[in-house]
């Protein structure tokens, strides 16, 4: 693609490849600057709901503003090539991965001061993102850039969730990189901020020791060690490491998310205390070993399998007696090999398990080398159990409990697993008037529709996720809409106290924090309000307007070029129209006829988020709002029209629906 143009950007150099994208250096001639373009692999575009997921996550990433997070400028679709791409700031420097490789080749280790500095910078970036509802899911040295000044910059925010390929997530596959993956990610469970904290802990361990805490010949072997092996203490590698730092590392790499640091801020605070020589409370001993419940999960027998410790069932004796001791080493090896397969199948109701390696070329699900005979016996028993007919009953598989001999699949859970929960915004009512006076109360409304395949769960919420909250709620309950059912969302808000342009984002989320559809955005401009035109005197009953011709108005159109702010992710302009006929005294409104909707003239200036359309109705009247409002029922419906009051006042209206492609 060198020399080709994508959108406004000319490709000048190939920077690298990954499992999800190719990265290029490109030039923006209009701004005369270089950018980095991440071109996502074309196979991702065929995945279900990818476009919706791409727009939602890219928009959220573009809203992040932190000195240690790479800035995203733009995201779009190249229709000719059918590829999606993200445009980011171009950083001169190298990755932390390359830096560690260079140190290893020299037989050196990073200084403790530099290790702490890098960890603090990346941790502060994660803390900022976590406060805004963003989880990285793939923290590793390859995603940490070091600028020429040595400043750490975290990259690839949101990419893992953006490309959460349906075929993988449905089968219990993991998003992340095995060497830095958290145990819960390795088990295919839902991950949250604490998974990022664990991955940052692995990076910190590697920075201070020069090696990874867990290594194996295969990716699956590494994941199994994260899940089940005790943590090798860093002082075994660096004997002079402060005891306090070792205690910090032991806690941040706890197997259970509940026993780890719950926030990045707590993790960084303990690092600073340990470096300063302050006492750090030692973590419980069980943090560094395999939990009892996890060990039971790994070693639990499959249905229909007779373990060496279990007496055989009554019946005819076997041809030869069972020998107990020779099976033990096979059991231990086979159990470890089958643990992840068992968990993935039972928890999610499917028979495959795979990895999504974010810094390697995508590959089919990994297949391990042939297992011992006992492992094959266990797998065969599992497959037989899954395929067995189930005339009645239900069961709720629990991946942490010992399996019973006769489980019955939960048919309801199986059906729900096929559900697609989705939301469509069918109406996005703008904020009027614009601009708002500082501190002024206003209402924002949307109408949303359940366009998925199943009713929404009972525990969905409308959640504030980023931007300016403007007095809105942190969360509010959402009714469990039936398929194709609509619901009007109303937020009572207040304009910020200072002039400027502001935006806030809410999402309809399920209990796991997954957004059901596009963001619900509030974009307002705060500033001096225009002086309204003086109302005309109330006419006497004998007065009847006698227009020479009916009042009319043109279709509102852009009166000048649009303003596109790539930094703020907004676009806007001024829509204006002309008027003729009538009595010669005109009044102008947007969104409705009322004092709050009045305009000083036949023009309206707006600003909205990139990608948003403007659906607005404008009014021209021959009388002020005090003589017209409220308008009678049935008035002013449709795209355009004219209505005359019993007193002879005229109201004409026009609706427009414009997006950024209509900009002059």
Query: Alpha carbon of 20 to those of 139, 146, 379: distances in Å?
Result: 15, 22, 32
- Tell me the C-alpha distance between 185 and 636, whole Å: 55
Question: Which pairs with CB-CB distance under 8 Å and at least 24 residues apart come from 376-379?
Answer: 377/305, 378/301, 378/302, 378/305, 378/334, 378/335, 378/338, 379/338, 379/341
What's the rounded Cα separation, in Å, for the pair 513 and 515?
6
Q: Which of 76, 138, 156, 270 is catalytic?
A: 138
Phi, psi of 193 (to 5 degrees): -55, -30
Q: Are 657 and 615 in contact (CB under 8 A)?
A: yes
Half-sphere exposure of 364 (CA within 13 A, CB side): 3
Specify the DSSP class assigned to residue 515: B
101's CB contacts (< 8 A; 6+ apart) are none
C-alpha to C-alpha distance for 564 and 663, rounded to whole angstroms: 10
Give, for 71, the enclosing helix (H) or strand (E): none
Q: How many CB atoms lie within 10 A of CB 408?
A: 16
Phi then psi for residue 254, to 5 deg, are -65, 145
Q: Which of 460, 514, 513, 505 is nearest to 482 (CA)?
A: 460
| Structural element, H or E, at residue 603 | strand 603-609
Identify whether the C-beta of residue 83 lies closer than 8 Å to the C-beta of residue 77: yes
Q: How far apart are CA 315 and CA 597, in angstroms?
A: 86
Crossing angle of helices 219-228 and 327-348, in 10° steps, is 90
- Dihedral of alpha carbons 88, 90, 95, 96, sign: negative
Here the tokens at position 281 are 């409370």
Q: Would residue 138 show up in a list of annotated catalytic residues for this protein?
A: yes
Compute the 3-state secondary structure of the chain and give helix, strand, coil in percent, each to the nearest 5. Answer: 30, 25, 45
* Residue 191 backbone dihedrals phi, psi, to 5 degrees: -110, 150
Q: How many CB atoms lie within 10 A of CB 645?
A: 17
Instruction: Read off φ and ψ for residue 644, nearest 5 degrees.
Output: -120, 130
Residues marked active site are found at 138
């Amino acid at each position: 693609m060198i020399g080709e143009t994508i959108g406004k950007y000319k490709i000048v150099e190939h920077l690298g490849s990954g499992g999800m994208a190719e990265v290029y250096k490109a030039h923006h001639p209009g701004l005369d600057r270089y950018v980095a373009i991440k071109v996502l692999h074309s196979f991702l575009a065929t995945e279900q709901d990818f476009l919706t997921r791409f727009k939602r996550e890219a928009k959220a990433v573009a809203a992040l503003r932190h000195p240690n997070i790479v800035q995203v400028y733009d995201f779009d679709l190249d229709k000719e090539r059918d590829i999606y791409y993200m445009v980011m700031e171009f950083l001169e420097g190298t990755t932390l991965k390359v830096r560690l490789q260079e140190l290893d080749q020299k037989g050196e280790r990073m200084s403790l001061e530099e290790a702490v500095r890098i960890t603090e910078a990346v941790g502060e970036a994660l803390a900022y993102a976590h406060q805004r509802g963003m989880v990285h899911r793939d923290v590793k040295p390859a995603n940490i850039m070091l600028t020429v000044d040595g400043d750490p910059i975290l990259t690839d925010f949101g990419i893992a969730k953006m490309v959460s390929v349906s075929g993988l997530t449905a089968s219990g596959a993991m998003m992340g990189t095995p060497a830095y993956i958290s145990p819960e990610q390795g088990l295919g469970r839902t991950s949250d901020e604490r998974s990022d904290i664990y991955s940052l802990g692995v990076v910190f361990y590697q920075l201070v020791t020069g090696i990874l805490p867990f290594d194996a010949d295969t990716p699956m072997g590494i994941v199994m060690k994260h899940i089940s092996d005790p943590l090798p203490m860093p002082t075994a590698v660096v004997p002079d490491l402060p005891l306090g730092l070792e205690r910090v590392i032991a806690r941040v790499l706890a197997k259970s998310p509940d026993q780890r640091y719950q926030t990045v801020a707590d993790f960084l605070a303990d690092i600073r205390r340990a470096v300063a020589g302050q006492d750090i409370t030692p973590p419980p001993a069980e943090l560094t070993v395999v939990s009892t419940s996890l060990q039971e999960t790994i070693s639990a027998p499959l249905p229909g399998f007779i373990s060496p410790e279990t007496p055989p069932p009554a019946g005819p004796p076997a041809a030869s007696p069972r020998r107990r001791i020779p099976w033990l080493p096979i059991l231990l090896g086979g159990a470890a090999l089958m643990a992840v397969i068992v968990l993935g199948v039972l928890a999610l109701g499917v028979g495959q398990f795979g990895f999504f390696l974010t810094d390697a070329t995508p590959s089919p699900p990994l297949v391990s080398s042939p297992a011992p005979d006992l492992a094959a016996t266990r797998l065969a028993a599992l497959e037989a159990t899954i395929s067995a007919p189930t005339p009645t009953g239900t069961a709720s598989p629990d991946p942490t409990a010992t399996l019973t001999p006769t489980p019955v699949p939960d048919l309801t859970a199986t059906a729900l697993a096929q559900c697609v929960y989705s939301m469509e915004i069918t109406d996005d009512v703008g904020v009027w008037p614009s601009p708002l006076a500082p501190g002024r109360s206003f209402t924002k409304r949307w109408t949303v529709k359940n366009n998925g395949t199943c009713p929404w769960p009972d525990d969905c919420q409308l959640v504030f996720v980023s931007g300016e909250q403007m007095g809105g709620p942190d969360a509010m309950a959402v009714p469990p809409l039936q398929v194709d059912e609509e619901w009007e969302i109303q937020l009572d808000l207040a304009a910020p106290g200072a002039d400027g342009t502001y935006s806030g984002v809410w999402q309809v989320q399920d209990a796991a924090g997954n957004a059901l559809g596009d963001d619900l955005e509030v974009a307002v401009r705060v500033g001096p309000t225009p002086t309204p035109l003086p109302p005309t005197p109330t006419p006497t009953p004998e007065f009847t307007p006698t227009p020479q011709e009916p009042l009319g108005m043109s279709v509102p159109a852009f009166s000048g070029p649009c303003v596109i702010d790539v930094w703020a992710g907004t676009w806007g302009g001024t829509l204006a129209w002309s008027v003729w006929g009538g009595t010669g005294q005109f009044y102008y409104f947007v969104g409705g006829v009322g004092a709050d909707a009045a305009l000083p003239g036949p023009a309206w200036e707006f600003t909205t988020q990139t990608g948003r359309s403007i659906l607005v109705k404008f009014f021209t009247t021959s009388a002020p709002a005090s003589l017209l409002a409220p308008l009678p029922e049935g008035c002013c419906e449709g795209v355009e029209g004219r209505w005359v009051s019993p007193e002879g006042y005229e109201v004409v209206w026009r609706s427009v629906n414009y997006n950024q492609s209509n900009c002059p």
